[in-house]
Structure 1
Amino acid sequence: MTFVLLVLVAAAAGGAVCVVWAERGGPRWVRIVASVTLGIAAVVRGLHRSGRRGGSRSSANSDGDE
């Protein structure tokens, strides 16, 4: 389980490096990896937002006090 987590963290870090490198005009494979990384991030954001529709995660106050 720890190995899987380490691989996921390494992949995310590598994807982030490729996004920055692609913005500076990296090689074609870097731009492809950056596009895939940004696409996966958009899907994850969409899933996160759809999970909030029920209102179960909303907070009544913004202080953090309960």
Structure 2
Amino acid sequence: MAVLVLAGFLVLVAGGCACVVWAARGGPRWVRAVSGVTLAVAQVVSLLGRSGRRSSLGRGGDSDD
């Protein structure tokens, strides 16, 4: 079951990336909408990743204290 969920997630990510490329070349309106959602989600994930790194740096990084 977990493999199916992971495969579905991978298909969504690949489809989103394809829509971003297609929208950059002037695709239809729905492709530009999917592209915008994909880029917004990527921005949110990027911001969450940065805040996670900052909090781990504040705790001393990777040291084994």
Residue 44 of structure 2 corresponds to 43
Amino acid at match of 1:50: S
Identity %: 53
SS at match of 2:13: helix
SS at match of 1:22: helix
1:27 and 2:36 aligned: no
1:16-62 Cα deviation digits (max 9, x unpaired) = 00000000000000000000000000000000000011215857xxx
Amino acid at match of 2:16: G
Counterpart Cα distance in 1 of 2:45 and 2:54? 15
Amino acid at match of 1:35: G
**Normalising by structure 1, what TM-score?**
0.83
**Normalising by structure 2, what TM-score?**
0.84
Amino acid at match of 1:40: V
Residue 12 of structure 2 corresponds to 11
Which structure's residues are more often helix, by fraction? 2
Runs of 4+, deviation exceeding 2 Å? 56-59
- Cα distance, 1:57–1:3 mapped onto 2, change above 3 Å: farther
